[in-house]
Amino acid sequence: MASSSDKLREWFERYKKWITSNPQGASEMEAVVKWGSYILAGRLKNSTLLCEIVYAGSRLFELFNDFLIKGTLPHLSPHTADRLKILLTVVEYVEVLVEVAAVQLWGEMGRWAVVTVIQICKCIGRFFLLLQHKIQVVPSPPIKPLDRRAAVKSSREQQMYANNGTVPEVMRLPRSGRVMRTLAGAPPAHQRTFLPPCPPNNNICEPFITKVMPRNHLIAEAMHILRPICHLSSMYVFGQRAWIPWVLSLGMDITSLRLYDEAALTMAERTELAHRRINLLYYLMRTPAFQAVTHKRIRYILGTLGRRVPLARTVCQPLMEYIPQWQKIYAYTWS
């Protein structure tokens, strides 16, 4: 038993060493697994469940490799916010898989029960990050995929400094991303300022943003967090195909975005708001807009391409058959 655990530990160390030295190779390996979920779609009897198992596994695999590359897996942060971010990220990666499994086990009633429980748990977790830890724009997922190229570049810069025997003037903290000036890089006392240092190769510094949350930002993020619960509740009252839940959710999204003062946000927070604006396009795929407007136009476009473009029919025909299934699965994840 001890020998097998030693072998597992040895294999893990070898894998960790390979991942940290070949992050781009790890990205390619993850992409192959992820594309496998798309290739399996519609080709097997239980392809939907199998696709979600492969896709969720690829996202969790990517998250695991990101922790290895950042070097934070052996000593995960004890902070409650960090553990909660990890938990919410895992929930977002597996929520569709759990929903599909619930449909096959308990039918439509089981599906809606699972969707409601997941959204309530996500809502509670996001409110905890908002109110307790003052994260005024909670990203989705809370832990974004690691920028592997930037990580490689940073590692090479640190290696270069180590080989040259020099100390960098600034450093970026691995978990928070905050840029700090090193003791060796501090200027003389009479030349010091209280301006934040610029990271290497950056010409523009992010201004220091105080974490006193404005009232309008608190209301805006609360509306964004409550939007899935309000949508589900109104669907229960007015029906799945009613326009009132759709309009209510869209109105909450637009109002939330308009309440933010982007001049008081960091670059990462402004980027998250830009993603939320793009995600408004998903309302075209939600009931009843999908059945009334979007589906007819998608079928017309795919049908036209299938008739006029050589070999396009082999791609367009399966898409036309599978798009309603995708819409039914992904229209209510809000992630």
Per-residue pLDDT reduced to its tens digit, 301-334: 998 998 888 888 888 887 888 888 788 877 777 7
Contacts of 184 (CB under 8 A, 6+ apart): 167, 169
- DSSP letter for 166, please: -
pLDDT at 253: 95
* Residue-level pLDDT at 176: 56
DSSP letter string, 45-89: TTHHHHHHHHHHHHHHHHHHHHHHHHT-STT----HHHHHHHHHH
Whether 77 shows a pLDDT value over 90: the answer reads: no
The overall average pLDDT reported for the chain is: 80
Assigned token pair, 15? 């894998």
Given this model, what pLDDT does residue 158 score?
56
Query: Whole-angstrom Cα distance, residue 175 to residue 79?
Result: 11
Q: Which residues of 173-207 are buried (b: 16+ CB within 10 A; e: fewer)?
A: eeeeeebebeeeeeeeeeeeeeeebebeeeeeeee
Amino acid identity for residue 49 in this structure: L
Q: Which two tokens stand for residue 124?
A: 């509670």
Residue 171 confidence class, pLDDT cut points 50, 70, 90: low
- For the chain, what's the residue count? 335
| pLDDT tens digits, one per residue of 134-163 | 888 999 899 988 877 766 666 555 555 555
98: Cβ–Cβ under 8 A, 6 or more apart, which residues? 114, 118
pLDDT tens-digit readout, 30-52:
888 777 766 666 566 667 788 88
Q: Is-cis flag, bond preceding 141, omega within 30?
A: yes
Tell me: the pLDDT tens digits for 220-263? Answer: 999 999 999 999 999 999 998 899 999 999 999 999 999 998 88
Q: What are the structure tokens assigned to 143, written together? A: 């832990």
Grade residue 26 by pLDDT with cuts at 50, 70 and 90: confident
Give mean pLDDT, residues 80-100.
90
Selection from 97, 35, 41 nearest residue 324 by Cα: 41
- Higher-scoring residue by pLDDT: 9, 182: 9
What pLDDT, on the 0 to 100 scale, is given for residue 207? 44
CA 174 to CA 269: how far, in whole Å? 18
Displacement of CA 116 from its chain's centroid (Å): 20
Instruction: Give the closest residue to 264 by CA, choosing from 301, 318, 308, 214.
Output: 214
Residues 72 and 61 sit within 8 Å (Cβ to Cβ)? no
Question: Which amino acid does the sequence have at 192?
Answer: R
170 strand-pairing partners = 181
C-alpha 14/C-alpha 25 separation (Å) is 15
